[in-house]
Copies of this chain bind each other. A is one copy, B any other.
Amino acid sequence: MAFTSLRNTASVRRHNLSLLLDTIEALGPISRAGLSRVTGLSQPTVGAAIEALIRSGLVRPVGTGESSGGRPPTMLEFNATHGFVVGIDLGGTNIKVGLTDLRGRVLCRIEEPTPKHQELGPGAVTRAIFGAVERAVDEAEVDWDKVLAIGVGAPGVTDPDTGTVSLAPAVGWEKTPVRSLLSQKFHIPVRVDNDVNAAAMAEQAFGYGREYPSFVFVAIGTGIGAGVVINSQLYRGATCAAGELGYMVIDHAWNPASVRDFGCLESMAAAPAIARYAQRVLAGESRGNAGPSHGTASPSATSVGPEELFKAAEEGYEPAKQAVSQIASYLAAALTNVAVLLDPHAIILGGGISQAGDTLLNPVRERMKQLSPVLPVIRVSALGADAGLLGAAALGIREVKERSLSGE
């Protein structure tokens, strides 16, 4: 019967531990008195919590600070190399596996083509992951005892509670119990989530998301998806479908052949649609529409894609600029819809297309000023090519911290 009172006390204690750990990670080296000042927690509370954090290995003393009269205080810092995690960024084209410390610093990365599951079966993908994990830990020359967790970002519908990927056509997985498979193989805790949610967590842990309690991470690549962070918590929705931004309707007359197809927004503004613009515009160019600065080095129509389109627009080639402006107006409509419904502090863009940067973002921002009375900050993720890997690592790091804080 005293269970709940205990649980409540335990939850207050866990909240305090978590607050202190975050504060030490952000501000350390810092003294106990400093922690008390910053967090508002009493000195006895801080004292007891710090003992537990030092026992967990996540915090360590690092010499003494300046005295303000009495004995010089012991300074504390986050021990990012107390252990390491493996991040697995699984895509339809490549598998990326990396080993990071507890701050997400990448010690080593492996990248290899995803086995063709159509020929080799979905088990081939699992075996390739096993091999890549072993190689990553070997190459990093880290002792297996120091590898504390594995995080997986999966390209499909994932239940983070069970660690099962229910559907991921890109790798041929259906009802694949990824967590069990990996934890049985490596005997360490595993956390699995879909790749966009993982990337949103990477933003929160290592990227611009650190600055904003509420933000929406939008990944624009082959498809378009979003991770919604509200009051510093990933919001998953009633059926784990929150953030299915690719299905946003920005043309009320749009008629999909089937609701399982690409959604309205991604049909109009994801990488394949942009590639079609590129082909049309840059092929047209070689037929004599070349702008002055671009006519001499026209790529062939078959090799051009989004990158070439954005480059041509940047160089001032008018048909490319018009195409980019059209794509920007689609994205501006969708981001306006995010802004007016959720009023987040920021929208952070990731995925391959976001690499176009201001060439794409400036016309998006201009158009949003016409459409939206609500204008959150819009930024391209700074995490670059490692974003997926860091997202997977962020899952692993979160697993490590939560286990440590709950005393497991």
Q: Which residues of B contact A12 (CB under 8 A)?
A: 8-9, 12
13 contacts between A and B (CB under 8 A): A1-B43, A8-B12, A212-B238, A243-B343, A244-B343, A247-B336, A248-B337, A249-B334, A249-B337, A251-B251, A251-B252, A252-B330, A259-B369
Q: Is A376 an interface residue (CB 8 A)?
A: yes
Contacts A214-B238, A247-B371 given: A338-B341 contact, CB under 8 Å? Answer: yes
Q: CA of A345 to CA of B236 in the docked complex: distance in angstroms?
A: 12
Listed in ascending order, the chain A residues whose CB lies under 8 Å from chain B are: 1-5, 8-9, 12, 15-16, 36, 39-45, 212-214, 226, 228, 230, 235-256, 259-260, 263-264, 268, 329-330, 332-334, 336-338, 340-345, 369-374, 376
- The smallest beta-carbon distance between A294 and chain B, in angstroms, is 27
- The smallest beta-carbon distance between A14 and chain B, in angstroms, is 12
- The smallest beta-carbon distance between A156 and chain B, in angstroms, is 13
Asked whether B371 lies within 8 Å of A264 as measured between CB atoms, the reply is yes
A242's partner among B40, B238, B241, B341 (CB-CB below 8 A) is B341
Contacts A3-B40, A41-B5 given: A340-B245 contact, CB under 8 Å? Answer: yes
Q: CA of A255 to CA of B366 in the docked complex: distance in angstroms?
A: 13
- The smallest beta-carbon distance between A136 and chain B, in angstroms, is 34
A239's partner among B237, B329, B343 (CB-CB below 8 A) is B343
Asked whether A243 lies within 8 Å of B330 as measured between CB atoms, the reply is no
A340's partner among B247, B268, B370, B373 (CB-CB below 8 A) is B247
Q: How many copies does the complex hold?
A: 2
Chain B: which residue is nearest A268 at the CB level? B252
Given A5-B44, A247-B336, A249-B336, 10 more pairs with CB closer than 8 A:
A3-B42, A239-B343, A244-B340, A247-B371, A248-B336, A249-B332, A250-B250, A252-B329, A252-B332, A253-B329
Asked whether B239 lies within 8 Å of A340 as measured between CB atoms, the reply is no
Q: CA of A237 to CA of B231 in the docked complex: distance in angstroms?
A: 9
Q: Which residues of B contact A340 (CB under 8 A)?
A: 241, 243-248, 263
Q: Which residues of B contact A43 (CB under 8 A)?
A: 1
Q: Which residues of B contact A239 (CB under 8 A)?
A: 343, 374
